[in-house]
Amino acid sequence: MSDYDAIVVGAGNAGSAAAITMASKGLSVLLVDRSDPPGTKNLSGGVLWGNDLAKILPKWQSEAPLERFIQDKKIGFLTEKSSIIIDFKTKIFEENKVGHTVLRSKFDPWLAKKAREAGATVIPGITVESLVKKDGKIIGVEESGDVVTSNVVVLAEGINPRLAIEAGLRPPLQDWEVSVGVKEIIKLSPQKIEDRFNLSSTSGLASEYIMGNLGELNAGAFFYTNKDSISLGIVAPMERLRENGVTHTYDIIEQFKEHPSIAPLIDGGTVAEYGAHMIPEGGLEMVPQLFGDGYMIVGDSAGFGFSNGLVLQGMNYAFLSGILAGEAAVEAKSRNDFSSSSLSTYKRKLDNSYVLKDLRTFKDIRKVTNNKSMYTTYPKMLESILLEMLWERGQPKKKVREILGSCAADLNVGKLKTATDFYYMYRRM
């Protein structure tokens, strides 16, 4: 007889969501995490969209340690001297407060506490050394020679799924599958944040940028307001950094902070935290076999992340995949069958969810995000077009088609190449 119905490895969003789902339905659950408290090693440069969290914790908005709800959303391009921003501020976000900035060092311990309250046994500070197999089936985990068994193991290890790789459940990560994210927390008083960004005491903003001032590194950046701090950082593809060989992530984040449109926003702030983390960006192609005899893979470990260069998402995918894995385990328990065939319900649930639907819809998005012109030519072209249209220099005005033609000529961009790129962006985005 197994020690537990389920063991969850990793108390991030996916792991804790799975543990809450299973424990609340009466399964005996062990949730382990290498951090003490959970979340110490996690970085978040994004927004928590709580639609899925509400399915297991209906009172999350009043109970969770949230920072600010997102009322103002910006996306844009940066060149060396300019920023081209779409600023979307809407009352609709205020009326439907489901997007919030969070600090994972506060949020993850709260979520693990909720797993404990649901009935799970939560043990932080445990680094699982290996998965235990018997007759080809995963039957538990091993740590310091101690084996703990279960009917199913839910792997929520995060983006570097060492256990799954060592057990042969998925191949090692490739450079093209991940980006490197570097984040800083910059302390600013709530009053300065609210005055500087025209916010209320509870509202906030989220911004993502394409960095068109870094050549062919294909880097993006993000900027989010918390209660008394700013979360900002950069995201750069691992393969581009490897190819480049001389540009380091700490140089990129400094260039972002020193950009003329960013520096005034953090003026007077002090850096309180700094960290780096890999981010899944391989899309559908990097998703492994998600289930097998005695195991399921969720969250970042499964490659569930989305980026199109202007939008970054992952936490909501983690919540939903953890919930669906938990539901599949509950159903397997009712059948007393934790075989691959029984746990395949997890994949069927994912197929019907927006997680895999998104990855399928945007399966070719890397052909856009890997297009070097998106980060070099087109931000400069936008800058040139806007300067020509908006900068009064005492010269005759040009029609739009003339401006486009002269900008393309100045940047040595062929009309066919530009038309082809924008056509494929339209198709894939």
Q: Which domain holds residue 330?
A: 4-65+104-172+283-363
* Domain end (from 336, 363, 390): 363
Looking at the domain assignment, is residue 99 inside a domain?
Answer: no
Q: How far apart are CA 295 and CA 332, in angstroms?
A: 12
Looking at the domain assignment, is residue 90 inside a domain?
Answer: no
pLDDT 10s digits, 11-34: 999 999 999 999 999 999 999 999
The confidence score (pLDDT) of residue 43 equals 67
The confidence score (pLDDT) of residue 44 equals 66
Looking at the domain assignment, is residue 82 inside a domain?
Answer: no
Of 160-164, 252-256, 361-365, the poorest mean pLDDT is in 361-365
Please check whether residues 331 and 196 belong to one and the same domain. no
pLDDT 10s digits, 160-188: 999 999 999 999 999 999 999 999 999 99
Please check whether residues 325 and 236 belong to one and the same domain. no
Looking at the domain assignment, is residue 339 inside a domain?
Answer: yes
* Domain end (from 256, 280, 304): 280
Asked if residue 207 lies in contact with residue 231, where contact means CB atoms within 8 angstroms, the answer is no
pLDDT 10s digits, 42-75: 766 578 999 999 999 999 999 999 999 999 999 9
Please check whether residues 192 and 46 belong to one and the same domain. no
The confidence score (pLDDT) of residue 341 equals 98
pLDDT 10s digits, 212-234: 888 778 899 999 999 999 999 99
pLDDT at 307 exceeding the cut of 90: no
Please check whether residues 298 and 336 belong to one and the same domain. yes
Q: How far apart are CA 186 and CA 172, in angstroms?
A: 34
Please check whether residues 55 and 122 belong to one and the same domain. yes
The confidence score (pLDDT) of residue 429 equals 56
CATH number of the domain within which 240 lies: 3.30.9.90
Binning pLDDT at 50, 70 and 90, where does residue 424 land? low
Across the range 243-267, mean pLDDT stands at 92
Which tokens hold the place of 111?
A: 């979520």
Please check whether residues 185 and 245 belong to one and the same domain. yes
Looking at the domain assignment, is residue 291 inside a domain?
Answer: yes
Please check whether residues 381 and 356 belong to one and the same domain. no
Q: For all residues of the chain together, what is the average pLDDT?
A: 91
Please check whether residues 249 and 108 belong to one and the same domain. no
Of 94-108, 351-365, 380-394, the poorest mean pLDDT is in 380-394
Please check whether residues 356 and 241 belong to one and the same domain. no
pLDDT 10s digits, 128-144: 999 999 999 999 999 98
Binning pLDDT at 50, 70 and 90, where does residue 195 land? very high
Of 5-14, 32-41, 333-342, the poorest mean pLDDT is in 32-41
Binning pLDDT at 50, 70 and 90, where does residue 309 land? low
Domain count, the chain: 3
Across the range 114-129, mean pLDDT stands at 96
Please check whether residues 18 and 32 belong to one and the same domain. yes
Look at strands 4-9 and 29-33 and give their pairing.
parallel
Share of the chain above pLDDT 70, in %: 95
Looking at the domain assignment, is residue 85 inside a domain?
Answer: no
pLDDT at 272 exceeding the cut of 70: yes
Please check whether residues 328 and 189 belong to one and the same domain. no
H-type alpha helices, 4-90: 13-23, 53-56, 60-63
pLDDT at 418 exceeding the cut of 70: no
Looking at the domain assignment, is residue 73 inside a domain?
Answer: no
DSSP result, 209-275: EEETTSGGG--EEEEEE-SSEEEEEEEEEHHHHHHH-S--HHHHHHHHHHSTTTGGGGTT-EEEEEE
Counting beta carbons within 10 angstroms of the beta carbon of residue 178, is it exposed (0 to 12), middle (13 to 18) or buried (19 or more)? buried
CATH number of the domain within which 288 lies: 3.50.50.60
Looking at the domain assignment, is residue 260 inside a domain?
Answer: yes
Please check whether residues 232 and 253 belong to one and the same domain. yes
* One-letter amino acid for residue 12 of the chain: G
- Cα-only R_g, the chain: 23
The confidence score (pLDDT) of residue 236 equals 92
* Domain end (from 363, 393, 409): 363
Binning pLDDT at 50, 70 and 90, where does residue 5 land? very high
Q: How far apart are CA 240 and CA 217, in angstroms?
A: 6
